[in-house]
Amino acid sequence: MGPLVALVLQKLRFTFQQDNATIHASRSTKTWLEDNDVATMDRPSRSPDLNPMENL
């Protein structure tokens, strides 16, 4: 998956949405995102009003 991610990072401009839940926000993940200049949009963890599946 590493080469695919590198290709996407080179070709596309995007913002990664991070919900900051403990299981999704490991130190190594945050470090990798920072080291690779991935723009992130932090959101509160476990916020049902921001869960898109609740609107279906």
CA 47 to CA 51: how far, in whole Å? 7
Residue 5 included in any domain: no
Q: How many alpha carbons lie under 13 Å from residue 40 in its C-beta half-sphere?
A: 17
pLDDT, tens digit (0-9, with 9 covering 90-100), for 1-36: 567 777 777 777 777 777 777 766 788 888 888 888
Residue 3 included in any domain: no
pTM of the model: 0.55
Residue 4 included in any domain: no
Is the pLDDT reported for residue 45 higher than 80?
A: no
Residue 17 included in any domain: yes
| Confidence at residue 8, expressed as pLDDT on a 0 to 100 scale | 74
Residue 53 included in any domain: no
Into how many domains does the chain fold? 1
- Kindly report the length of the chain: 56
| Confidence at residue 5, expressed as pLDDT on a 0 to 100 scale | 74
| Confidence at residue 49, expressed as pLDDT on a 0 to 100 scale | 67
- Domain range for 29: 12-46
37: left (phi over 0), alpha (psi -120 to 50) or beta: left
